[in-house]
Amino acid sequence: MGEAIVVTSGKGGVGKTTTTANIGTALALLGKKVCLIDTDIGLRNLDVIMGLENRIIFDLVDVVQERVKIKQALVPDKRFDCLQLLPAAQTSDKSEVTPEAMKKIADELKQEFDYIIIDCPAGIEQGYKNAVAGADKAVVVTNPEKSSVRDADRIIGLLEQEDIEPPKLIVNRIRHHMVQTGDMLDVDEIVSVLSIDLLGVVADDDEVIKASNSGEPVALHPNTKSSLAYRNIARRILGESVPLLSFDEEKGFFTKVKKFFGIRS
């Protein structure tokens, strides 16, 4: 029996979908059977980032309305056999799915897969409620900026009312030079305000955007810092105790490596 993890943030555009795609890919790299569910009905993106857009035949709404079986709607990944995607519908509305239906789908998928990663839409309305209904665990993604931390705080408050484990935090898109000048919130500050466990820190990296546009999650790249961050997060999800490198060290380590190889960052 697997477990379902919802990736949420409250605010839009902080990197939920990218995080979902990369955690899923990283877990698949580690040999786990993973199913990604996109619950952002009407504004689906996860398939694009995974590069699976043109393979979609049926979607979540088709499953909910029992036009097809779950297995028929699952889109297998082009790189891994153990990674599958249940895409969202593009032409329907979020109200087509109910929390009960999501829970049923998640329970069914848990029989088959080790991990179900649910990509939650922005906001705290119907779409959020649907996404959280089927989850056992939650990951909250935030950016190091005030508005995003505020919304993460709100979402954590709502998640605490649900019957799931305490959520874990991913700080996404941190820029080291801005943190150093004090123009960006640093990770310690964010963690102390939100007072939940930190699951990982991902640096702001051009490679992530490049990878998303080409439909190849960055976690597949062996050599970028964001890819390592995502793979570390996946290992922590598996229960390994990978040390949470403070960002200074991480950066320091990378600049050293890059200097050694003569790569310009």
Partner 1 sequence: MIANQQLITIKGTRDGLILKIDDQCAYENVLEELKEKLSLNALLEEDRLISVNIQLGNRYVTREQKETLKKVVRENQNLVVGKIESNVLTIEEASEWKKHAEVKPLVRVVRSGQVINVEGDLLLIGDVNPGGKVMASGNIFVMGSLRGIAHAGVDGDSRAVIAASYMQPSQLRIADAISRAPDHETEGVYMECGYLNENEDKILIDRLQDIIKKRPDISSFERRMLNG
Tell me which of 77, 119, 151, 216 binds partner 1, using CB under 8 A: 151
Nearest to 122 by CA among 16, 4, 5, 6: 16
d(CA 137, CA 154): 17
156 is a site residue for partner 1 (CB under 8 A): yes
Nearer to partner 1, 157 or 252 (CB): 157
Q: How far is the CB of 156 from partner 1 (least distance, A)?
A: 6
Nearer to partner 1, 76 or 157 (CB): 157
* CA separation, residue 64 to residues 86, 106, 121, 244 (Å): 12, 12, 17, 39
Helices 187-194 and 146-161 pack at an angle, to 10 degrees, of: 30
Q: How far is the CB of 193 from partner 1 (least distance, A)?
A: 6
Beta strands 137-142 and 3-8 are: parallel
Nearer to partner 1, 62 or 151 (CB): 151
Q: How far is the CB of 196 from partner 1 (least distance, A)?
A: 9
Nearer to partner 1, 93 or 165 (CB): 165
Beta strands 83-86 and 75-76 are: antiparallel
Tell me which of 76, 157, 166, 252 binds partner 1, using CB under 8 A: 157
Question: Which x/- pattern over 172-211 shows residues binding partner 1 (rule: CB under 8 A)?
Answer: ---------------------xxx----------------
Tell me which of 55, 104, 150, 258 binds partner 1, using CB under 8 A: 150
Nearer to partner 1, 8 or 232 (CB): 8
Tell me which of 69, 78, 154, 259 binds partner 1, using CB under 8 A: 154
- Burial pattern 94-106, b for ≥16 Cβ within 10 A else e, equals bebbeeebbbbbb
Name which of residues 41 to 80 contact partner 1 (CB under 8 A).
none
73 in Cβ contact with 59 (< 8 Å): yes
Nearer to partner 1, 71 or 146 (CB): 146
Nearer to partner 1, 14 or 203 (CB): 14
d(CA 153, CA 158): 9
Q: Which stretch binds partner 1 (CB under 8 A): 56-64, 87-95, 133-141, 151-159?
A: 151-159
Residue ranges that bind partner 1, judged by CB under 8 A: 146, 150-151, 153-154, 156-158, 160, 193-195
